[in-house]
Amino acid sequence: MSEERILFTAKKGKWYVSKKLKIDENTRNVEIARILAGINETISLKIKEFLPFDMQKLEEIADEIYVAKKGKVKEEEVSEALVKLKSPATTKKMNAITESKEGKEILKRILTEIVLERLGFKLHVEAKMIEKFIEKSQ
């Protein structure tokens, strides 16, 4: 019977990451969730770095939709930002980054993530959040 484990290793240039977890009968599912969340965080950050698009221009488009600020976000601001995000004008602005239909689809998803995060919507469960949960539940 082969050993159960999670092993994620990546190396590209000076970037190196390794996340490992040996799974046995004492390993709780929440510990598996924690390491998977850490891998997800790493992947989410690096995907943008390796795509062949000008992410600064995408950030500028995001600035035109909504600029994050301190304090509570009003419902009107959320709805306005979502209308702008889905607008054909926003899609047209992506032509400055790529003319590829597939490229625009990728950029739309990244842009959606940027705008939602600025509006205060968390899209991913962070590893630290799970760690705190584990600590409090023991």
Q: What is the pLDDT of residues 66-88, one digit of tens each?
A: 999 889 999 999 999 999 999 99
Structural domain harbouring 19: 5-51+125-137
Question: Are the CB atoms for 24 and 1 separated by under 8 Å?
Answer: no
- 104 lies in the same domain as 61: yes
- 103 lies in the same domain as 131: no
- 70 lies in the same domain as 87: yes
- 28 lies in the same domain as 46: yes
Q: How far is CA 113 from CA 27, 81, 96, in A?
A: 32, 12, 19
- 59 lies in the same domain as 114: yes
- 15 lies in the same domain as 63: no
Tell if the pTM clears 0.85, that is, is over it. yes
- 59 lies in the same domain as 112: yes
- 75 lies in the same domain as 106: yes
Count structural domains, the chain. 2
- What pLDDT is attached to residue 2? 78
- 26 lies in the same domain as 74: no
- 38 lies in the same domain as 11: yes
- 64 lies in the same domain as 114: yes
How confident is the model over 102-119, as pLDDT tens digits? Answer: 999 999 999 999 999 999
- 59 lies in the same domain as 115: yes
- What pLDDT is attached to residue 1? 55
Dist CA 57 CA 63 (whole Å): 10
Dist CA 129 CA 33 (whole Å): 11
Dist CA 107 CA 80 (whole Å): 20
